[in-house]
Amino acid sequence: MAGVTLTDIHKSFGKNEVIHGIDCDIKDGEFIVILGPSGCGKSTLLRMIAGLEKISAGQVAIDGRVVNNMEPADRDVAMVFQNYALYPHMTVFNNMAYGLKIRRMPKAEIEERVHNAARILELTDLLERKPRQLSGGQRQRVAMGRCIVREPKVFLFDEPLSNLDAKLRVQMRLEIRKLHEDLNITSIYVTHDQVEAMTLGDRLIVMDEGSAAQIGSPLEVYERPATRFVAGFIGSPAMNFLEARISDDARCLALGSDDSLPLPDDAPAGRAGRDVILGIRPEHFEVTQQDKGLIQFTVNHVEILGADTLVYGHFGRRKIDLTLRLPDIHNFVKDTSLSLSVAPDKLHLFDPQTRQRITC
């Protein structure tokens, strides 16, 4: 087991820099998720840690040793890919044993390691089958077994569940988490799926175009997103963003000419009279008695999900769109008026220029 330290990591392909300086101290036994949209550099960062991609500048250290110039095989990491690429002509046992055989490990030890991994992954009864005789989830477990038998210091996962159907993904997600709790091997897991990230990660690295927009626990990232990008990327349905202005006395936010919301006590007084981007998550609106709320909202249409209802509509003279997520079932017809309030501590403010969070 080992920690992984990334220090000012850069990557360029030719003249095109795609990773712009990432720092992160990953603790021994930690489960880190690299989350971000397609093309933001997740796989490139992971591949540099694995040694499959040259590091343009900066340092990767595993267990305190700089590995920049070390071959992948010497780094003591094991990687599970999206396309798990099992050898089709080999049994499950041989697929798992193959990497150990080419390292000339004694037969008895190979047997012990494979059986041990098979037990953990509940593959014991399937060891003599070929990959084509397995389900997608079972194949993915064999791919993980191949990594476990190597007893690496670090596990690297690149979107390992993206070939599986939705139900199996949920099941495998739980299995990966359980595996981590059992083995406690430092793990770095790439995904663009925020639910996977929130449920698996001890901490997330949220990437935005080659930079780490925020590094923090899932709750920190949800409750205090550091940038407008992170705020919009985490949460489903996405956060509502509104143009607003902090009043001259810094007590409230003006939303156009008709509506306003009170600001929390620790609101940034220095920004009185300034424009901001206001973020409100759909789940943080409350329906109050008519005329007691601060936003007069008009329903457009609803989607009843069972446990809760998504309500789409608008407010104000400029008919600004809002999405609400209300608990329980609501059969609002079109044009129903709702009076809404939001707790001041659920308001997120961002600078319209820098797009960084403004404290509060």
Ligand X SMILES: Nc1ncnc2c1ncn2[C@@H]1O[C@H](COP(=O)(O)OP(=O)(O)OP(=O)(O)O)[C@@H](O)[C@H]1O
Select the binding partner of residue 277 from Mg ion, ligand X, none (C-beta < 5 to 8 A, by kind).
none
Residue for token digits 């044009």?
Answer: 335
Q: Give the SS3 label for residue 183.
A: helix
Which letter does DSSP use for residue 189 in this model?
Answer: E
Rule CB under 6 A: which of 12-31 touch ligand X?
13, 18
Q: What is the H or E stretch that residue 12 is in?
A: strand 4-13
Residue 73 vs residues 70, 99, 186: alpha-carbon distances, Å: 8, 11, 17
194 in contact with Mg ion (CB under 5 A): no
Separation of CA 177 from chain center: 14
Give the nearest distance from C-beta 18 to ligand X in angstroms: 4
Residues in contact with 76: Cβ distance below 8 Å, sequence separation at least 6, in sequence order: 2, 62, 63, 152, 153, 154
Select the binding partner of residue 192 from ligand X, Mg ion, none (C-beta < 5 to 8 A, by kind).
ligand X
43 in contact with Mg ion (CB under 5 A): yes
Give the nearest distance from C-beta 43 to Mg ion in angstroms: 3
CA distance 5 to 59: 8
- Considering the complex, state which of residue 18 and residue 170 has its C-beta at the smaller distance from Mg ion: 18
CA distance 205 to 175: 22
CA distance 255 to 295: 9
160 in contact with ligand X (CB under 6 A): no
Which of 9, 33, 41, 239 is the binder for ligand X (CB under 6 A)?
A: 41
β pairing state of 154-158 and 186-191: parallel
Select the binding partner of residue 78 from ligand X, Mg ion, none (C-beta < 5 to 8 A, by kind).
none
Cβ atoms of residues 137 and 168 within 8 Å: yes
By rule CB under 6 A, what string of x and - marks binding of each residue 205-224 to ligand X?
A: --------------------
Give the nearest distance from C-beta 52 to Mg ion in angstroms: 12
Separation of CA 66 from chain center: 27
Give the nearest distance from C-beta 20 to ligand X in angstroms: 11
Residue 319 vs residues 8, 100, 243, 247, 312: alpha-carbon distances, Å: 45, 64, 13, 21, 12
Give the nearest distance from C-beta 48 to Mg ion in angstroms: 13
Which of 8, 12, 25, 39 is the binder for ligand X (CB under 6 A)?
A: 39
38 in contact with ligand X (CB under 6 A): yes
192 in contact with ligand X (CB under 6 A): yes
CA distance 260 to 226: 24
Select the binding partner of residue 145 from Mg ion, ligand X, none (C-beta < 5 to 8 A, by kind).
none
By rule CB under 6 A, what string of x and - marks binding of each residue 42-81 to ligand X?
A: xxx-------------------------------------
- Considering the complex, state which of residue 160 and residue 279 has its C-beta at the smaller distance from Mg ion: 160
Residues that bind Mg ion in the complex, under the rule CB under 5 A: 43
Residues that bind ligand X in the complex, under the rule CB under 6 A: 13, 18, 36, 38-44, 192
